[in-house]
Amino acid sequence: METENSKSLTQPTQLISYSKAKELSANFVAQKSGKHVTSAGQEDTNAVWFSLEELEKFVEYIKTEGNNQGFTVDGVRIYLGVYSNNETVGRAGYTTMFMTATGRQANSATPLSGGATSQDLTTVNPLNYGSMGNPPKMQYGI
């Protein structure tokens, strides 16, 4: 029975198991570890952390801002990037992950390109500046 404080749970359709996530992380470390080194000679980032609060604010922001600009936001695309060498101390040369809204024009039944995939909404600012967490984790599940 659902109480006033509880919600029914609808699980995402693209969940993976702990063991699959651990396998993917181990594969990354085995195949990429030591091969990706920053210009400062440090092993590169392989995980980025965002607080739940920041993610919730981002989802609300992209829905609102996208709607205000005449778009229907239908997802988030995550990109890998590398900070330039003149970035702030502690980030120069490191890999980062940033998220951008995707969608289509609100009055269109198809994505912006008319293709099968949603397009990046480049007029809605992406989210960046996550951290490696505290303490940083270099491999999932370890």
Question: Residues 94-98: what's their mean pLDDT?
Answer: 86
pLDDT grade for 122, boundaries at 50, 70 and 90: very high
What is the average pLDDT score of the chain?
82
State pLDDT tens for residues 25-34. 888 878 876 6
- Of 132, 135, 141, nearest to 47 (Cα)? 132
Question: Residues 96-104: what's their mean pLDDT?
Answer: 93
State pLDDT tens for residues 41-74. 777 778 888 999 999 999 999 999 999 999 999 9
Q: Which residue has the tokens 């205000």?
A: 68
Kindly report which listed range (2-6, 13-17, 19-23, 124-128) carries the lowest average pLDDT score.
Answer: 2-6
Question: Residues 69-87: what's their mean pLDDT?
Answer: 90
- Of 83, 62, 74, nearest to 108 (Cα)? 74
- What's the confidence (pLDDT) of residue 112? 52
Gap between the Cα atoms of 111 and 104, Å rounded = 4
Pairing of strands 71-82, 95-105: antiparallel
Answer whether residue 142 shows pLDDT above 80: no
- What's the confidence (pLDDT) of residue 20? 92
Answer whether residue 83 shows pLDDT above 60: yes
pTM: 0.78
b/e burial code for range 103-113 (CB count within 10 A of at least 16 → b): bbeeeeeebbe
